[in-house]
Every structure is written in C-alpha cells, then in structure tokens.
Chain A
Amino acid sequence: GAVVSQHPSRVICKSGTSVKIECRSLDFQATTMFWYRQFPKQSLMLMATSNEGSKATYEQGVEKDKFLINHASLTLSTLTVTSAHPEDSSFYICSANRDRGDYGYTFGSGTRLTVV
C-alpha cells in the first residue's frame, strides 16, 4: 500500500505563535509531497509542492514566508505556519504519491488548526 501519516490531527495555538505540521510517507519514498488547505464546505486548494532537497514551489497567493515548507528526507515534509493569526485557522492536509500517478495519490488524515 501507500500510507501517509500526518501529525498532529488537531492543534490550538495562540495568535503570534508558530505551528509545525508533519507529513510522512510510511511505506514508500516520496520525492514530492503536496500541501493543501481546506476551508469549511470548500474544496481542497493546493498551497505548495514540496520537493525533497530543494525549495518548495508555492501557488500564487500563498505567502512562502508565512507557510514554511521543509522536505529534508524522502519520507518527511513539514509545514510550519509562522506567526499564526485567526485567519490561518483551517484544515491542512498533505498528499504524496509513489510515482507520477499510476498508483494514485494518498492523503494524510489532515490537521485542524485553530488560532485563538
């Protein structure tokens, strides 16, 4: 199979603090991982593509200094929400695939971030 683990599942933080979310591919190596954001009753919006050993590629409108992505190994990508504010409260979910698409994409269980 292809399993993606994401932690934490829920986090509440104070405004101004930073939060790190981890995404791990458990049984395969992923040179590329993807980070999405989902607002209530909305679709998943691609935030950035995480590339192992190089800089992430951010979608238009996503602040790269706000959402720091690190992909230091073939099985781990992290998303850090820096200086979080209430408007950053959302559902964040990561994804990876074993190859370009022949086996489909697997998603983590998501992280519900609440900034108070």
Chain B
Amino acid sequence: KQEVTQIPAALSVPEGENLVLNCSFTDSAIYNLQWFRQDPGKGLTSLLLIQSSQREQTSGRLNASLDKSSGRSTLYIAASQPGDSATYLCAVLSQAGTALIFGKGTTLSVSS
C-alpha cells in the first residue's frame, strides 16, 4: 500500500529565504506526482505535476524534483514571500491506482 510522508510538518522562515520541502513515498511504481498548495479552509491549487519519466518541473519560483528509484521528491521555493504561507501537499498517483494518495503536508509560514 502506497504511503506518502512529508518532512518537515511545519516550517517558519523569514522573507527572502530559499527553502526545500521533502516528500517520500514507499512504492516507486508511480504514474506521476503532484504538488498542491492549500490555504486555510480552502481547496487545493495544483502547483506542479511531474510524470514518472521526468526528473523535475519548474514554474516561476517553484522547482520540483523527482527521484523515483529512491521514492523522493522535493519542492524548492526560491526567494520566499509572505504570500507563500500555506500548507503544501505532495500526492502520488500509483501505477496500479486511480486516486491520489496524499502526505500530511508541510505548513509553511513566511514572515516579513
């Protein structure tokens, strides 16, 4: 059964710092991996989608990497801003599955 773990659970940084969020998964037979952002009491906003054949994806200040063989993904946020404060969720679609399996998320707080 696929399990997804995110570390750290919470992170506080001053504005301008570069930071890395980590995601690991137990079954490397994945179809793709998706990073989401969730603001309090809101739905999910998709940030980046990485197919199993890809190693990284970039969107603006965000860069996500995927190492399928080791079961790891990282989300790199450059030059963090207070508006980046939110919970970031990693989700995996397994080869044999149809639904995303989520980690518990990393709650990020960026102070000005």
Contacts and interface: CB of A to CB of B under 8 A. Distances in A.
A43 B100 contact: no
Interface in B72-112: 89, 91, 93, 98-105
By Cβ-Cβ distance, the 6 closest A-B pairs, closest first, are A109-B43, A104-B49, A107-B44, A43-B104, A44-B102, A110-B43
Given A101-B31, A104-B49, A106-B46, A43 B102 contact: yes
A95 interface: yes
Interface of B: 31-32, 34, 36, 41-44, 46, 49, 51, 89, 91, 93, 98-105
Given A100-B31, A101-B32, A106-B46, A32 B104 contact: no
A112 B41 contact: yes
Given A93-B43, A104-B46, A107-B46, 6 more contacts: A6-B43, A36-B102, A43-B105, A44-B91, A104-B34, A105-B46
27 contacts: A6-B43, A32-B98, A36-B102, A43-B89, A43-B104, A43-B105, A44-B44, A44-B89, A44-B91, A46-B99, A49-B99, A93-B44, A100-B98, A101-B31, A101-B32, A101-B93, A102-B51, A104-B49, A105-B91, A105-B100, A106-B46, A107-B36, A107-B43, A108-B43, A109-B43, A110-B41, A112-B41
Contacts of A34: 99-100
A54 interface: no
A116 B88 CA distance: 31
A89 B80 CA distance: 34
Interface in A82-116: 91, 93, 95, 100-110, 112
A102 B50 CA distance: 9
Contacts of A103: 49
B30 to A, nearest CB: 10
A64 to B, nearest CB: 16
